[in-house]
Every structure is written in structure tokens, then in C-alpha cells.
Chain A
Amino acid sequence: MNTKLQSIPDAMGRFGLFGGRYVPETLIEALNELTTEYEKACKDEAFQQEFHRYLNEYVGRPSRLYFAERLTKEAGGAKILLKREDLNHTGAHKINNSIGQALLAKRMGKKRIIAETGAGQHGVATATACALFNFPCRVYMGEEDIRRQKLNVFKMQAMGAEVCPVTTGSRTLRDAVNEAMRDWMSTVGDTHYIIGSAVGPHPFPWIVRDFQSVIGKESREQCIAQTGKLPKVVVASVGGGSNAAGMFFPFIHDKDVEIVGVEAGGRGPKPGGNAATLSHGAPGILHGAFSYVLQDADGQTADVHSVSAGLDYPGVGPEHSYWKDSGRVKYTQVNDEEALAGFDLCSKLEGVLPALETAHAVVEAMRIASKLSKDDVVLVCFSGRGDKDCYEIARVTGESLE
């Protein structure tokens, strides 16, 4: 295993082979400006303090690290600790990044914010940050996702954001990213694009990972304080990979901590049946970065599926590709059925409804915990709450909430 892992991207914006910038010339200047400004913000004490003040007073951080006693008992092995990102304002980890990038946009003097969203969590988080910092906000969302996530559409609009339906391609997250990039091509002078995951052209994967790293930093301290040691294994679900990148990064150099990313196994390994990019994909280019991607032999992006709208994405952040190839992080899969069972189990045993993304991580954590001793600790990123998924879960289990 490679022990000297890169912590920040190189001059070409790459983590090892992965990352870079595969975007039209029109966007290059904006990406250069963003890189320069972000480098300054990293070293600017006042910026960091302001960011953490909002995380503390507005988002409600630090989020709790909770010992899930009944899940632990059910798994019958290691202690399972849940990092409760679902308790953040807006109910998921996404707000960490939206607040950070909105502050960055303010610093750069931008006048307008755009974002893409799949299930709507990142859209809601960005609409929230835009209300807070008084930015006009447009959120691109696939027509199909708008239908599935009416409540989030209502929330975004209530906070003053304009939700723009995307009618091209598969009408889901991937097409929403395309439309947001197209908007940005025409408005790049006064607009900042708050991308929602650790994906896209450099410096986005790095910025998003850093703003989300608060998850891992807090978890590491809390775990030591509560259990007297580091966890044996850290687990998080991976779609684009922002909650996972934020959770994993502060543990990357802890040699004895195993790290496991959980992808969406969907209906199974057949092409189109899952969204497990690192498990079934190959290195290629999507949305401006070189990373693992699910494509056909011609380089056309493949259709993907997951019961979880947040994991239903054919790409993955370049740093995850780097961690995979270096052997530092192991990537596994949990399928639709298992994730739905995990939702059920976690709700009934702990009284906490996990988002379907999160349910993937919970299922894997229980599998891992069952093989370890009761002195070990398995730390799970509990990335979001399940309210948004209730309609979809009811639909696939043959019930109705209408």
C-alpha cells in the first residue's frame, strides 16, 4: 500500500492520475480564479473563523457522535458509532459545503449562485445558504427528480430559489450537472457554481472535500474522547463521494484505521442496474475530471440505477479513484433490497430514519461489525435523515402516502 498519499492536488489539479480539468476554455479563467481565491481563503484565519462560526451557530455543529447500542447488539460484534450529520440544519451533510462555497462566492464578489441537485438535498442546502447570504439562486434539477422530490422543490422555492427543470437526457442528476455547467459558461463573470459533490474540474473536488472534512475531524476527536481510541473501521456511502471524502480524509494517514466506501449495488452487477462506479467502472472522463466512470466502450456515459437518488450517479470524485488505486480505501457495495432493509432496521432499532444513501453505509457497517470483537469500534457517517425518501420507500414497498 502506498503510504505517502497526496493530501492536496498537484499543480495540474490531480490526485495521482486522477482529477485535472476537462472543460471548455470558457470556464478555465473562472476555475483559475477560484483556485487562487481558495488558496488564499485556506490561509486566511478570518475566513476559517467565519466558516466555523456559521457551522456552529447556524448549522448546529459539532454534530453528535452517537453509540448505536441496539444496532451494535443486532450486529453482534464491534461497537457501532454514528456520526449524526442528519442532525445538521437541513438534515444532511450537504450544508457544510454550501455554506463554505457561498462564503467563498461572497469573498470573490460574485453576484449570483447556481447549483445542481439530484434528490434535492444539495439544492435545499444551497438555497438555504443563498437565503442566508442574500444571493439570487438558481437550482437545476432533472424533471424526473422534480416529480420524485416535490417537497424539496417546495422548500427551495420557499427560500427564494428558482428551480429550473432539466428536460434533457435522463432528466436526473447527471443532466442537471450538464445544465448547470452550461449556465456557468454564459454567466461565468458574475456567477459562482456551487457543485454539490467532490466531483467536477479542479479545484472543486478539493474544495468540497475540505469543507466536508469537518465531519472526519470532529468524528476523530469525538471517537477518541468517547472510546479512548481511534476506530478500527470508518464507513461511508459513496455516490459522487462528498460525505465519504469529508469523513475519510482526516483518517487517511492513520495507518491502523481501515476505511470502507459503500457504493450503490442497485439491482445487481449488470450494466445499467447499479451505480457502483468504482466497483464496475473504469478510468475515464466525466463532468470535467478524469476518474472512474460508468461508460460504454465508446466513452458514452452509461445509464445507472439506485433506489437512492443521491447515489444514482455514473461518476465519482477523483480523490476516491486515487484512494482506490492506492489501496488505501476499500470500496464495497450494498444493493437496493439490503439498503431498504437497513432503513427499516435502523428506524425500528434506533428510532432514527436514515436517508437511503445513509442506509447503505449502515448495512455495510453492521456486516463489518459482526466480524469484529466487541472492543473494536466501527464509525459510520450517518450522512442524512430519511424524511425525503419516505415517499419513494412507500412507493417501492407498495404503500402510498398520498
Chain B
Amino acid sequence: MNAIDTAFESLKTGNKKAFIPFIAAGDPDLESTKELVKTLAKNGATVIEIGFPYSDPIADGPVIQAAYTRALNKGLKIENIFKAIAEVSLDLEKEKIRVPFVAMVSMSIIHRFGKEKFIAECLKGGFSGLIIPDLPVEESLEISKDLKKAALSLILLVTPNTPKERALLILSACSGFVYCVSVSGITGERDKIPEELLTNLAWLRKQTPLPLCVGFGISKPEHAKVLRDHADGVIVGSAIVKHIETAEKAGLPAVKIAIANLAGSLVTALNS
């Protein structure tokens, strides 16, 4: 069984909801990324999304884009991300902590790096799935076969303007969990949970046994409280990256504390 499926199975038995944090690899550097991944793993993360910095991330808002730029300006290489994540996997294994990793990565990178090589590195690095935000379901058929063979999940996105018929096509090609985008737009913090989202979640729930996780704009415990009755988990990106932004001034220990606190409050809100 894929580690993501296992993670959601065990949540289900405990009647709990998933907390899925996102961080950008190499921001501010890969050593810090390793530390931060461990912090998240030890503070209630169900799955951790590792963002592969890309020079032209059109789905991302200013916070995540800036994180990617910081990482790339320091000469970050894709192969070093895999190395760092493989090391974290080993360290966590020793402590008997099992949190699956998901690569959030542009098709542009996968294509140039080489699809086969990328999948092989994912397996070596301890990844359990991929989110390819610029790969719509029609274009995903080829890679989805290869991922299935490698037992890696392909997590696809459903947005508020995805027509129902198309959503069914996406669900049939999706594995791991469904990434339910809360709003039409880019990543970044927002104040409110739109009403329409809850209706969409109810409809999706009837169509698929896959866990439904909500991302884009989720940053506060209040959001988690609203969503816990409608979804199986929340994905939090920009709110975490914003803390990491301060790493250079505030120092890594302070960032770790801030992130642990944020994770703690979100996990509590999801499960209280």
C-alpha cells in the first residue's frame, strides 16, 4: 500500500483530519529544509508537500514565488533536493516517525530532468506521490501510467470552476487524495472560506472514496474548524512559508518554534 493511503487509513480509524503543510525546498537552504521537515513531521503533519522551486510558477502567489526565487538564487539543484529529502527520510525512520512526502513540481522540471530519472529519484528520496500543478488531466495520462508502476500517487486538483463532468474525469485519474482548490486564483492567504466550496465538497464526497483535502488560502485555525466537518484535511502553504521568510533575520530556531506553534494550533483546530 502507498504510504499516503496508509496515512489516511490510520487517520480514519482515529476519526482524525489531515494536516498537510507545504514548504519550498532550499529556502533559505537545504540544511534548514531538513530541519523544518523534521519539525513539521514531529508536530502533527499527516503528509508533507515539498515544493520544487521553479523559475516561472504561474499558479503561485507572491509568498511562494519569493521562496522559490530565494532558493534558486542560491543555485539550488534538483538532485540536491532529492539528496536532502532522502537524508531526512532516513533520520525520521530511525526515530520511527513515518510521514509521507509529496513532491510539488512543475512539469517543466520533470520533462527537462527526465521523467524516468525523476521518478527513480523520487523513489530513492522517499517520496510517495507527486502534485504537478501545471499538468491538466488530459496531459497526465502518460506519466500517470509510469507513476502507477512505481506505486507513486498522482494527486490532481479540482477547482471551483471545474465542470462536474470534468471533475469525474479528474477523480478517475487521481490517487492519494484529491487536492480541492478553495478559490479560483493563486496560492496565498485569504480571510474567508467561500460558501460554494462546502457545496462542492459535499458533491465530491458522493463521487469518490478518495480523501478530500482543501488548499489555497488556508492559513488559520478558524479555517480548519470550518473545514473539518466537510473535508478530510487541509493544505497549508503560504502561511508556513511566510514564517520561513524571516529565517535569515530571526534565525532558524525561532522559525522552528513559530512553525511548530502554527502546526499545533491547526492540528488542534482540525481534531478538537
Closest A residue by C-beta to B105: A299
Q: Is A23 an interface residue (CB 8 A)?
A: yes
Q: Is A188 an interface residue (CB 8 A)?
A: yes
- Distance in angstroms from A273 CB to nearest chain B CB is 18
- Residues on B with C-beta less than 8 A from A25 are 136-137, 156-159, 162, 170, 181
| Interface residues in A19-64 (C-beta closer than 8 Å to B) | 20-26, 28-30
Which A residues fall within an 8 A CB radius of B?
12, 20-26, 28-30, 168-169, 174, 178, 181-182, 185-186, 188-189, 282, 284-288, 290, 295-301
Q: Is B135 an interface residue (CB 8 A)?
A: yes
Establish whether residues A299 and B158, one from each chain, have CB atoms under 8 Å apart when the complex forms.
no
- Distance in angstroms from B266 CB to nearest chain A CB is 25
- Residues on B with C-beta less than 8 A from A168 are 62, 65-66, 69
Task: Report the stretch among B108-116, B146-154, B193-201 that lies at the interface.
Answer: B108-116
User: How far is it, in angstroms, between the C-alpha of A20 and the C-alpha of B137 when the chains are bound?
Assistant: 12
Establish whether residues A24 and B162, one from each chain, have CB atoms under 8 Å apart when the complex forms.
no
Establish whether residues B136 and A186, one from each chain, have CB atoms under 8 Å apart when the complex forms.
no
User: How far is it, in angstroms, between the C-alpha of A301 and the C-alpha of B112 when the chains are bound?
Assistant: 11
Q: Please encode chain B, from 215 to 231, with 1 for each CB lying within 8 Å of some chain A CB and 0 for all others.
A: 00000000000000000
User: How far is it, in angstroms, between the C-alpha of A263 and the C-alpha of B239 when the chains are bound?
Assistant: 43
Establish whether residues A298 and B109, one from each chain, have CB atoms under 8 Å apart when the complex forms.
yes
Establish whether residues A28 and B162, one from each chain, have CB atoms under 8 Å apart when the complex forms.
yes
Establish whether residues B111 and A285, one from each chain, have CB atoms under 8 Å apart when the complex forms.
yes
Task: Report the stretch among B31-39, B43-51, B53-61 that lies at the interface.
Answer: B53-61
**Residues of B in contact with A, size category:** 35 or more
Closest A residue by C-beta to B78: A298
- Residues on A with C-beta less than 8 A from B110 are 299
- Distance in angstroms from B144 CB to nearest chain A CB is 15
Establish whether residues B109 and A287, one from each chain, have CB atoms under 8 Å apart when the complex forms.
no
- Residues on B with C-beta less than 8 A from A284 are 108, 111-112
Closest A residue by C-beta to B216: A26
- Residues on A with C-beta less than 8 A from B161 are 26, 29-30, 188-189
| Interface residues in B98-141 (C-beta closer than 8 Å to A) | 106-113, 133-139
Establish whether residues B59 and A185, one from each chain, have CB atoms under 8 Å apart when the complex forms.
yes
User: How far is it, in angstroms, between the C-alpha of A28 and the C-alpha of B163 when the chains are bound?
Assistant: 10
Q: Is B253 an interface residue (CB 8 A)?
A: no
Closest B residue by C-beta to A24: B59
Closest A residue by C-beta to B57: A178
- Which of A24, A30, A185, A295 interacts with B112 by CB under 8 Å? A295
Known A21-B136, A25-B159, A298-B113; judge A182-B108 contact (CB<8 A): no
- Residues on A with C-beta less than 8 A from B59 are 24, 26, 182, 185
Residue of A24, A178, A186, A296 with highest tally of chain B CB at under 10 A? A24
- Residues on A with C-beta less than 8 A from B139 are 12, 20-22
Establish whether residues A286 and B157, one from each chain, have CB atoms under 8 Å apart when the complex forms.
no
User: How far is it, in angstroms, between the C-alpha of A296 and the C-alpha of B72 when the chains are bound?
Assistant: 12
Known A22-B107, A24-B134, A284-B108; judge A186-B54 contact (CB<8 A): no
Establish whether residues A295 and B108, one from each chain, have CB atoms under 8 Å apart when the complex forms.
yes
Establish whether residues A299 and B162, one from each chain, have CB atoms under 8 Å apart when the complex forms.
no
